[in-house]
């Protein structure tokens, strides 16, 4: 009912932290991940904080996928201005690959959304329910509100990291 929609809306509002500033565009979706290619295996060994994210279940090739990296601090999770890295790449139906860079080894969280209309905002309807797909590292699934940060954390421990995040679409 209405209370569930309001709870969901409050979680969706937290996702607005994604759209606080424009981001520099990579020359290609894999530009930030060059260290992960076979041709640059040595570079990968020197840059263990590279995170390659495969975004799954992208429903179309419209707009952008925006991904944001957060620290393991619950006080800054999904907060405006608290991101450690962000990238926007062109969406590709099915799977979209992108990369982020963490400042050091440690525990982190990735949150992302499919900005289908390319307006660099996480769009919601009049109830605050997301009209664009979203997802988190560790794929915590659907929640009324944002997931707990502990459900989304992963560890970087000296090797390049690969994540798979499945996008959840609530509408359309």
pLDDT one-digit tens code per residue, 118-146:
999 999 999 888 999 999 999 998 877 88
First to last CA, the chain: 19
Picking from 101, 115, 17, the residue whose alpha carbon sits closest to that of residue 53 is: 101
List Cβ neighbours of 126 (8 Å cut-off, separation of 6 or more): none
Check residue 158 and give its pLDDT.
Answer: 77
Sites in the chain below the pLDDT cut of 70: 1-48
The 3-state DSSP class for residue 36 equals: helix
Check residue 23 and give its pLDDT.
Answer: 40
CA separation, residue 172 to residues 50, 60, 62, 82 (Å): 33, 12, 14, 30
pTM comes to: 0.76
Check residue 144 and give its pLDDT.
Answer: 77
DSSP bridge pairs for 50: 101
Check residue 52 and give its pLDDT.
Answer: 97
CA distance 44 to 54: 17
Report yes or no: 22 and 138 within 8 Å, Cβ to Cβ. Answer: no
Picking from 26, 132, 130, 159, the residue whose alpha carbon sits closest to that of residue 86 is: 26
DSSP 168: B
The 3-state DSSP class for residue 41 equals: helix
Check residue 33 and give its pLDDT.
Answer: 62
């Amino acid at each position: 009912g209405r209370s569930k929609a309001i709870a969901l809306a409050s979680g969706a509002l937290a996702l607005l932290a994604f759209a606080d500033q424009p981001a520099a565009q990579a020359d290609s979706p894999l530009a930030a991940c060059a260290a992960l290619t076979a041709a640059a295996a040595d570079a990968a060994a020197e840059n263990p904080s590279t995170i390659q994210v495969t975004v799954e279940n992208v429903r179309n090739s419209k707009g952008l996928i925006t991904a944001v990296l957060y620290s393991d601090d619950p006080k800054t999770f999904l907060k405006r201005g608290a991101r450690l890295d962000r990238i926007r790449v062109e969406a590709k139906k099915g799977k979209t690959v992108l990369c982020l860079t963490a400042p050091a080894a440690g525990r982190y969280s990735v949150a992302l959304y499919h900005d289908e209309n390319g307006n660099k905002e996480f769009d919601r309807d009049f109830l605050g329910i997301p009209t664009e797909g979203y997802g988190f590292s560790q794929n915590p699934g659907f929640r009324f509100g944002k997931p707990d940060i502990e459900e989304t954390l992963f560890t970087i421990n000296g090797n390049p990291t690969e994540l798979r995040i499945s996008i959840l679409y609530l509408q359309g």
